[in-house]
Amino acid sequence: MNEFMENKIGEEELNEVTGGVGAAEVKVRPITPIWVRVTSSSLNCRYTPNGEIAKIYEKGHKLKVDGITADGEWYRLLIYDPKGGTCYAYIYKKYTEKI
């Protein structure tokens, strides 16, 4: 299956995603998974963009992300939920760097 069929976006498109995040539903475009590093002193990982904090990651922590919100500001990642099990969560892209 090619990348178009998988709805993946390339490196150049990653920083050009535009649109908006709906209040009831988070619109996310899948991306080819990449690793990012936290660049701020700490980074809140949230259940939804601007939502409840699930975890806090410290500077230098490496995370694998597989989606980006329609507005291009939040990465999606799969986490071990502190409440039990696994779930998708979101980190603010501005405070990360690709590695």
> Model-level pTM?
0.75
Centre a 10 Å sphere on the Cβ of residue 17 and count the other Cβ atoms it contains.
Answer: 17
Into how many domains does the chain fold?
A: 1
For the stretch 47-86, pLDDT in tens is 999 999 999 999 999 999 999 999 999 999 999 988 888 9
> What CATH number should be reported for the domain holding residue 78?
2.30.30
- Provide the residue range defining the domain that includes 18: 3-98
Looking at residue 14, its pLDDT comes to: 52
**Which tokens sit at 56?**
């806090």
- 8-47 pLDDT, tens digit per residue, is 555 565 555 444 443 447 899 999 999 999 999 999 999 9
